[in-house]
């Protein structure tokens, strides 16, 4: 059951991260910042970097972590099946 709890927490945290990252451009349009980053105005480049590329990076990271959690769930399910079949034989 521990792996399922990890999956629930992971899903909630990644959902929040996706929402914040995807809507960061809105925050920069509400509160414009003067200055330059990599030669581009901050109010334009930060929403692009965090919005488009940030969501892409989060997608890759969440896919890899999600696969590890799914493997842990599968392993836990196999252990539970072995435990139940061992108890049924006794």
Give the domain ranges of the chain.
2-89
At 31 the three-state DSSP class reads: coil
> Which residue has 């909630």 as its token pair?
12
- Choose between 27 and 61: higher pLDDT: 61
pLDDT score, position 61: 94
Q: How far is 59 from 78, CA to CA, in rounded Å?
A: 28
10 Å CB burial of residue 50 (0-12, 13-18, 19+) is: buried
Residue 7: pLDDT band with limits 50, 70, 90? confident
pLDDT score, position 17: 92
Show the 3-state SS of 53-66: HHHHHHHHHHHHHH
Q: What is the pLDDT of residues 33-81, one digit of tens each?
A: 888 988 988 888 888 888 888 889 999 999 999 999 999 889 988 988 8
> Which residue has 């539970």 as its token pair?
80
pLDDT score, position 12: 95
């Amino acid at each position: 059951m521990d792996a399922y709890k990890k999956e629930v927490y992971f899903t909630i945290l990644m959902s929040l991260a996706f929402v914040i990252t995807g809507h960061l451009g809105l925050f920069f349009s509400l509160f414009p910042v003067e200055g330059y980053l990599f030669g581009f105005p901050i109010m334009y480049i930060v929403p692009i970097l965090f919005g488009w590329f940030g969501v892409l990076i989060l997608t890759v990271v969440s896919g890899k972590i999600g696969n590890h959690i799914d493997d842990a769930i599968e392993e836990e399910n196999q252990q539970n099946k072995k435990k139940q079949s061992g108890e049924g034989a006794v």
